[in-house]
Structure 1
Amino acid sequence: MDPNSPTRDDLISSKEILRRSGISRATLNNYIKAGILPRPVVGRPQDPSTSTKKIGFFPQSCLERIEWVQRMKREGRSMEAITGMLGLEGEAGSPRVVAPGPPAGGSEIPREGARGQPFHPGRLRLTVDEISFPSYLLNYDFELIWVNREAEQRLFKGAVKQEDLSASQSIFKYLFKWEFHTQVANWRSILKLHMAYAKLVKVSKTWIAGLFRGISEAEITVLEEIYDQVSPVGNQTIKENYASLLTQDGLSESFKVTSILFREGVLFIYVPLEFK
């Protein structure tokens, strides 16, 4: 058995999800079909008095996901936009490409793109590898999935390396590493910056306790305190913030932080203020 698989104590029945979230059975099925919720694990009901022989069980985190989706709908977002924010394309939950394919009945006319490569308007891709400023990409579970050399050295001070990202790890785990703490005096400010983005999609702090393997009670306490302190960022596609890194020797480096929301996650680009 996979040690990372949820236990029965970590699961909630479909009946309980309907009761606590207020959604209909049809909406629940639609969320599963869209990939917003995982397919249920089928098992025996916990109540021995029920006549039902089998029932579906979901991770507890599905309640938080449903609450977030309902909030996005109240703000006027379509289901297509919501699934796009989550980077989903159906029950498999696999990431979509950055841009959709050509319109039905349309034709693809190759045009000359950068470096002489054909440009297909219906197959747009964004290349981030050559960004010259410190940059990194997080998915919507706030796991680090890409980081450039400039960010490794200038932001994370060696606590993060691209070659170590074969298995995605929470950005918050990296920000608790001693290599980062011993060089960055205001590490709590950097935690707050990322928590403000996490709070956009995490509508309660129940997820923090299971954020990453080995998280300590002290780390949980710090993150829960920060969650209560910060406000979620706006849901605009492109946002600008400012951040400073204060090193333990008293030196400070300031950045304008541009974030871009894609279907796959959030891209952060740190432009040093002296560059301007």
Structure 2
Amino acid sequence: MITSKQLLELTGISRATLNNYISLGFIPKPQVMSPLGNNNSSTKRIGFFQDEVIERINEIKHLKKNGLGISELINYFKTKGLLVYKNEEKNHIDTVNNVTMSLDSINCPSLMINYNFEVVWLNDSVKKLIWNNKLKLDDNTKLRNIFDVISQANFFLKEDTYLSLIELFVFLAKTKYNKSQIESTIVSKTSTILNIISNAYDKDSDFDSVRGVLLKEIFIETYESTSNIYNIAITTFREGILLVFVPIAEYSDSIINYLSRRDLVIKELLKNKIPTLTSFAVLVTDLQSSTRICAELPANEYFELINEIWTSLDPIFRQFYGTHGKHVGDGLVYYFFPKPDSSYTFNAVQCAMMIKNEMRKINERWKIKKGWLRDLYLNTSIHEGQEWLGTFQTSTSIEFTVLGDTINQASRICDFARFGAIWASKKLMSQLTFDELSKVHYGVYRLNNQNQQTFISNTYAQVDTLIDLNTPKHDKLKEIATLSITEIQSISL
């Protein structure tokens, strides 16, 4: 008998191809046992194949070289009675157009992490597999770092398995961050976990790739004498990384086909996203005098203007890692979340300034196009807080939303802003580092002794000192009467 590693070396095929042949019934699944007949429970068990499998794989390669496709190979082996699985449905479940499959129907242990490497979703199967149903997951996203979470499995997983999982997540993390950035995300910075990560960072890891899905084989063994070989299918999205632990005997190309359909998978994941308590910055922006502009323009031109604004701004929000919250009429909301490699509050500040500059260009284009003197302004506010993040879903869409006073206050600050100004809360500005704050030109206008408006840099003011709240049209601003805010005029980078 030979190991899977030896089989791959002798036949020259990839592990993904081997797994595909097993799922199609071309070759039998491996027998999982200890090396050299060693039945010691502490010895790592691996998969073995009969020597005849080499001949079968070489036969498949010969037939494929002669032009036979997968369906023809199935019929060939079926006619000869050589398929390992006799159930026709098993062999034909694979189809690229299979859209009925879901994470629930796969029924494999699965979890998703964001690019802060915080757990944002996981199913009951993975809780059982990795943590023996004893995982304690905090509401605060900062306490859901995957390395902290995995450390809770140390009592249940054998050491080799535990280290293999740490190495897997380190490999995924180091594609975006250096070693110190990875370590900075960890809450429980014990010497043990830091040493493990440091050692794992310098190791290489081998992955197969099928239709954009990474595959990594891992042997999972517990102190309760359970063990199995899993193919971990890894899919990346803008929102994070999904890992599906597929038992080697259940591996199917249909699973890969489903996971490669990112649009379907991410929609399902967002529906099940765990509400989390998280720090964030929020940017609210609104087109000033939109009702009057709508009245002055033909309907098709008004929608052309709005679409041009949002289309032009979208790349800027993406550049600064903004997450789309909602899009109501002429305004929008974007969220900025903590990241190991950048400041979420400074990202919001830079984004606000760039959209202001972009809006000036749009304004000039429409002045030329319409020959009018009207100026177009996007009034913007940015605020910071800690609130519950979740999703609202309808039959056709999924929308990120944050519950709490932070959003309401940001909306009121935006209502206060006029003529394309950017107003930020003192709370947000206080989250900037000294170096970041030194790059921002901010302050408020005050009346001097000559009753003239003078800009006082590096200062804040309560809303009720900047506007007459007794005027009926300002009633809704009473909600933020005592909130300290400042106007951001420019950034020096």
TM-score range, shorter chain: 0.3 to 0.5
Question: Based on CA coordinates, which of the two structures has the bigger radius of gyration?
Answer: 2
TM-score scaled to structure 1, two decimals? 0.48
Write 1 or 2 for the structure with the bigger share of helix.
2
